[in-house]
Structure 1
Amino acid sequence: MSLEIRIAASDDAFAACNVLRRSIAECCVLDHKNDPAILGAWLGNKTPQMVASWFESPTNHSLVAVLDGEIVGVSLLTGAGKLALCYLLPEARRHGAGKAMLAKMEETACNWGVKALQLHSTATGEEFFASQGYIRAGHVRSPYGVDTVFFWKQLDSGGDDVPAEAGAAAKPRKRFCNCNSA
């Protein structure tokens, strides 16, 4: 098996869209519970044209995982430091493609100066992100009606910047004060 993680091109949009749609429909049943309304809303913007526009956006960094010549994974990092996509074909799970894409995204985020990466995980992906060092920091309802888990991970060694969305459930911020107590 030959695994390659590379930057996504607009020509990859059709295959990447297939990855997104199959992963959501087949792997995320815990989340959508086969509810046609939720599934329809979730898949509504997963078209080749929309995926191509995400790949072409200068504020996004998109990757595909290619296993033996076939696109089996897709991930997208926004300029704001949010991992917006990280999906695999059902048959590609547990072969290292997810870890490899995530590691490349973390490297890119560090290169951009992002101090903490954040994401909203499905119930299906929750244990994967926790196993990769991401910290659970509450639940967020998605626009398409699925409860997601908000995760974040410190990327730099500085350490005190916690994403605002993480709130009190995450690491407390240090307070600095220049006033005198006398």
Structure 2
Amino acid sequence: MHARVQMDIEIRSATPADAAAACEALRRSISECCQEDHRNDEAILSAWLGNKNSSMVATWFSSAANYALLATYGDEVVGVALLTRGGKIALCYVIPETLYKGAGKDLLRGLEQKAHEWQLPWVKVLSTASARDFYLRNGYIPCGDATSAYGTASFKLIKQLSGPAMSDEQLKKQFCGCAAQSQA
């Protein structure tokens, strides 16, 4: 169990002008915090980092279909998170020095708040092995295993935010898209 040491971290909206610093934090987090996933395999790491460049991150930040947040400590970007209008958490990464200090949780809460504003009943994530316990500690339920586009093990998780209470099984059906099939 890790003790949470509070830092003076600010959470704010990301803009395309933040792309270079956000990209650096994102790349560091994947390289240094997700070793359980990529196991320092250069092919996996290269594929995972392949679209993590300033231009692509700026595109993600400028899209009206996304909501992006940064965690900053002073002038340094220490975390990046992104939610799609479809309720998918596409990014939630922090640099190693920020692990267990509240930045990831604060970013996640910010994404969930935006999902509430967008009136989404749930949010879902395809988590790395490294982040799976983080999501479980924050109220997400497991919905199955998957393989990422980079060949690493991934875990489907979902969290209900609003609407009529659903059982874990009902939520799992929402994540995997089986709801329509079960009605047939």
Amino acid at match of 1:142: S
Give the deviation of 1:69 after TM superposition: 2.3
**Is the contact between residue 158 and residue 175 of structure 2 (CA under 8 Å) also seen in structure 1?**
no
1:39 alignment partner, SS class: helix
Give the deviation of 1:57 after TM superposition: 0.5
Structure 1 runs of 4+ aligned residues shifted over 4 Å read none
The aligned counterpart of 1:136 is 142
Give the deviation of 1:22 after TM superposition: 0.6
Q: Report whether the alignment pairs 1:59 with 2:65.
A: yes
Q: Deviations over 1:53-112 (max 9, x none)?
A: 000001000000011221100000001000000000111111111111111110100110
The Cα RMSD (Å) is 1.9
Q: Report whether the alignment pairs 1:147 with 2:153.
A: yes
The aligned counterpart of 2:18 is 12
Amino acid at match of 1:39: L
Q: Which has the larger radius of gyration?
A: 1
Q: Report whether the alignment pairs 1:33 with 2:39.
A: yes
* Structure 1 alignment gaps of length 5 or more: 177-182
Distance 2:90 2:103 in 1: 17
**Is the contact between residue 152 and residue 166 of structure 1 (CA under 8 Å) also seen in structure 2?**
no
1:125 alignment partner, SS class: helix
5 Å-filtered alignment, 1:56-95, equals 56-95=62-101
The aligned counterpart of 1:164 is 174
Q: Deviations over 1:1-55 (max 9, x none)?
A: 4211010011110111011111111111110111111111000000000000000
Q: Report whether the alignment pairs 1:46 with 2:52.
A: yes
2:159 alignment partner, SS class: strand
So what's the TM-score if we normalise by structure 2?
0.88
* Structure 2 alignment gaps of length 5 or more: 1-6
More helix by share: 2
So what's the TM-score if we normalise by structure 1?
0.89
**Match among 104, 109, 122 for residue 98 of structure 1:** 104
**Is the contact between residue 60 and residue 77 of structure 1 (CA under 8 Å) also seen in structure 2?**
yes
State percent identity of aligned pairs.
45
Amino acid at match of 1:63: L
Between stretches 67-76 and 53-62, larger displacement belongs to 67-76
**Is the contact between residue 31 and residue 146 of structure 1 (CA under 8 Å) also seen in structure 2?**
yes
Q: Report whether the alignment pairs 1:119 with 2:125.
A: yes
1:117 alignment partner, SS class: strand
Question: In the comparison of the two structures, how many residue pairs are matched?
Answer: 172
